Amino acid sequence: MARDRANRPEAKALRLFVAFVVADAAIDEVDRAIEPWRGRFPRARWVPRENMHVTLKFLGRTWPRLEGWVHQQVEAVADVHGPIATRLTEFGSFPSATRARVLWAGIEDPEGAFARLAGALDVALAEEFTPEARAFSAHLTVARSDPPLKLDQGSSRTPLGPVGFRVDEIVLFRSHLRRPAPRYEPIGTFALSG
């Protein structure tokens, strides 16, 4: 009976994604590095500190009946992947410096560990969610802009301080869309215990 209600059009879909949270020291370095950019581009939508994370798998619209299954799949992936030591790399933009829609901080992907983790989530969740077509790129989104920003060519790839941190868990988040910024609610935390 409950399953039938969850399939009805009036059942409210959840917006979900799987991510890891970046250590405070790394976010401090990102804040320091982007401070001059905030003044130069005040109309960009800067990501609030509490929303900074690295998305491993975006699920998007998810029916409530799938929430338990998603938890099981994410937990199964976390159980076979171990903690990952990483560090910040550089500050950059997508798709280019002359048409920057996204400003990001790069995260080192040691030996492709994050790419493998993201790929395993794609496989585990493929029964209900479309696998990502693009190659995984570990990054922390710090701002978005529409219209695109025009950055100086030389500053489009700026090194960040070598702040290292360890990723010990992944988190299933629910997005609550609102202005000026969404709120991300952790609804499941899974230790990388493999």
Residue pLDDT, tens place only, 110-127: 899 999 999 999 999 999
The total of other beta-carbon atoms located within 10 Å of residue 47's CB is 20
Burial pattern 121-141, b for ≥16 Cβ within 10 A else e, equals bbebbeeebeeeeeebebbbb
Q: Which amino acid is at 171?
A: V
126: which 2 tokens?
A: 């493929």
Q: Which domains does the chain have, with CATH numbers?
A: 2-7+17-191 (3.90.1140.10)
Name the pTM for this structure.
0.90
190: which 2 tokens?
A: 């899974």
CA distance 152 to 109: 26
pLDDT of amino acid 176 = 95
The H or E element spanning position 113 is helix 113-125
Residue pair 14/67 in contact by the 8 Å Cβ criterion:
yes
Residue pLDDT, tens place only, 35-53: 888 888 888 999 999 999 9
Q: At CA 137, angle to CA 83 and CA 32, rounded to 5?
A: 80
CA distance 83 to 81: 7
pLDDT of amino acid 154 = 56
pLDDT of amino acid 89 = 93
Low-confidence ranges of the chain (pLDDT < 70): 1-10, 153-157
SS3 103: strand
Mean pLDDT score of the chain = 91
pLDDT of amino acid 42 = 87
